[in-house]
Amino acid sequence: MSRSLKKGPYIDEKLMEKVKKLRAGDQTPIRTWSRSCVIIPEMVGFVFEVHNGKDFITVQAREDMVGHKLGEFSPTTKFARHGGRMQRELESQTKPSAAPTEEKK
């Protein structure tokens, strides 16, 4: 369900204070745990470090990200390969074959 239009987008006030303190184009990362904060045009060009539950993922806000939430660009889970035959087949396809060696007589 989307947020009511009369309320407007959710923007973390502490995060906006940090953005306003920095000057435009400054590449100093801003650390945040606020994954639900919506990216607004004033944030474009700044670098954020968004917490994913374990680490901080670096996200640089661009124009095409406006309207999305910071958490969308910081995945919380990583893809795990399944074990067994499926994994062995995938690994054998990606392994480079060893160069043939000459036999000495």
> pLDDT tens digits, residue range 51-69?
999 999 999 999 999 999 9
Kindly tell me if the per-residue pLDDT of 24 is higher than 80: no
Identity at 46, one-letter amino acid code: F
Residue pLDDT, tens place only, 37-47: 999 999 999 99
In sequence order, what are the beta bridge partners of 31? 49
Question: Can you give the pLDDT at residue 100?
Answer: 57
Residue pLDDT, tens place only, 69-102: 999 999 898 877 666 777 777 778 776 655 555 6
The tokens of 57 are what?
């993922």
Question: Can you give the pLDDT at residue 3?
Answer: 80
Name the CA radius of gyration of the chain, rounded: 22
Burial zone of 47 (CB within 10 Å; 0-12 exposed, 13-18 middle, 19+ buried): middle
Euclidean distance between CA atoms 70 and 91, whole angstroms: 34
Which residue shows structure tokens 């906006």?
16
